[in-house]
Amino acid sequence: MPDRHDLPAGFRWGVATAAYQIEGAAEEDGRGPSVWDTFVTRPGVIRDGHTGAVACDHYHRYPEDIALMKGLGLDGYRFSIAWSRVLPTGTGPVNPAGLAFYDRLVDALLEAGITPLPTLFHWDLPQALEDEGGWLNRDTAYRFADYAAATADRLGDRISTWITLNEPFVHTVFGYAMGIHAPGRALMFEALPAAHHQLLGHGLAASLLHERGLEVMLSNNLTPVEPATPNPADLTAAAAYDALHNRLFTDPVLLGRYPDLSALGVPDDIFGAIHPGDTDLIHAPGLDALGVNYYNPTRIAAPTDPSLPFDLVDIPDVPHTAFGWPVVPDGLRRLLVGLQELYGIALPPIAITENGCSVDESAAPDQLRIDYLATHLDALATAIAEGVDVRGYYTWSLLDNFEWAEGYHQRFGLVHVDFETQTRTPKASYAWYRDLIAAHQARHRR
Ligand code: IFM
């Protein structure tokens, strides 16, 4: 059985972060407010009332953080650009001071020999656009494309590959369907126009990035869906969930059509959101690589409440992370092999753009995280041996950071952050990842 020591020559190693989770400096250099700045002020929505206003203060401490990355021997760094630093109201003239931060960051990464891999949208929509309807407003897709082009015009001389969106499934469902993330709307399935408009924004931006000679990726949060039992009702519920979580965000991009969402009560035109030609706009630009964010499989049963299409049930008898997520490394192999079987030649090369786990601070010496990463990288090596073209792995995350509704409680970092003092302390998993990368590089003489 292949394992992490068998990952191929040229395999790229990285870490991933996101702007609102690490940058802080929420009001500096002309940054406009995003939906997250607004949402965190609502009483009771974030554990202990935490906010990302300071976060890891990466905006000021990025040289120290890049030194930590250099110490890992990384090939690449996946970060996100805060739209409202570049365009404080989401549209209009660019904010030179905001773009200058990313200039400094990119130059320092290149100086350290690390390839920057930016994500243009990791959930922090400018509040001014939310005031116009956010992703429920079709116009936001066009504003996103404008923002992508303006940012690429400034940084595209040094960055060759761009990720448009991060996890549109999570943003749609948590942000617009359930209201547990910003912008805090609880529209249930009527949230799905927000999904279509994000994908439309992806397609429009991808065309403009390609026109500039740049490569384009999309990072989806994907999960292998398993029925709780082989009973037909559980199989039907599992297929409905798979369409919502996975296929809704991957079929239009790779196949140029939406999956059947009728089991969710969603009409073919997603409540009138899909206009003629939209699926071409999403599909035609093509995808240079698919970003896969994997954390766990999802087990689905037929609904106990008949007004719902499915129930999510726990996967017992496996370890669970501090977040309560089941740890199933083979789920990653199954997911990747399943993508290959489903999409065949329509599937571009893959990069794992997130994978990792939260571990309680008290769980020294970080063995749970090391085990999680090791077993998932073993599963990844097996998937590659089974024929899936996976080119790289970006673990989530470099630093402990602001974990959305959980505030600072879920610690995903290779590096511990003391949020009182901003002291960074590498954990045992940091040394483990560094040594793994070094061994791979030595094996392939880089
Ligand atoms: O922290 C998040 C990240 O922003 C998106 N993917 C999942 C991570 C862990 O929950």
Ligand 1 midpoint to CA 403 (Å): 7
Atom of ligand 1 nearest to the CA of 122: 4
DSSP 142-167: HHHHHHHHHHHHHHTTT--EEEEEE-
CA distance 59 to 91: 22
Mean pLDDT of the chain: 98
3-state secondary structure of 310: coil
Shortest CA distance to 396 belongs to which of 21, 138, 4, 82? 21
Using CA atoms, how far residue 272 sits from 196, 266, 426, in Å, is 10, 10, 50
Asked if the model's pLDDT at residue 364 lies above 80, the reply is no
CA distance 34 to 90: 9
R_g of the chain computed on alpha carbons: 21
- Tokens 């060759």 belong to which residue? 160
Residue partners of 102: CB distance under 8 A and separation at least 6: 81, 85, 86, 118, 151, 154, 155
381-404 average pLDDT score? 98
3-state secondary structure of 216: strand
Q: What's the pLDDT score for residue 445?
A: 79
Q: What's the pLDDT score for residue 207?
A: 99
By residue range, what is the domain housing residue 206? 4-443
CA distance 239 to 228: 12
Ligand 1 midpoint to CA 409 (Å): 13
293 lines ligand 1 (CB under 6 A): yes
CATH number, domain with residue 267: 3.20.20.80
Ligand 1 midpoint to CA 294 (Å): 10
Q: pLDDT tens, 27-62?
A: 999 999 999 999 999 999 999 999 999 999 999 999
76-84 average pLDDT score? 99
Q: pLDDT tens, 1-13?
A: 899 999 999 999 9
> Would the pTM of this model clear 0.95, i.e. be above it?
yes
Ligand 1 pocket test: which of 23, 119, 293, 354 has the largest number of ligand atoms within 8 Å of its C-beta?
A: 354
219 lines ligand 1 (CB under 6 A): no
Confidence of residue 446 (pLDDT cuts 50, 70, 90): low
289 lines ligand 1 (CB under 6 A): no
Q: Which residues are catalytic?
A: 167, 354
18 lines ligand 1 (CB under 6 A): yes
Q: How many domains does the chain have?
A: 1
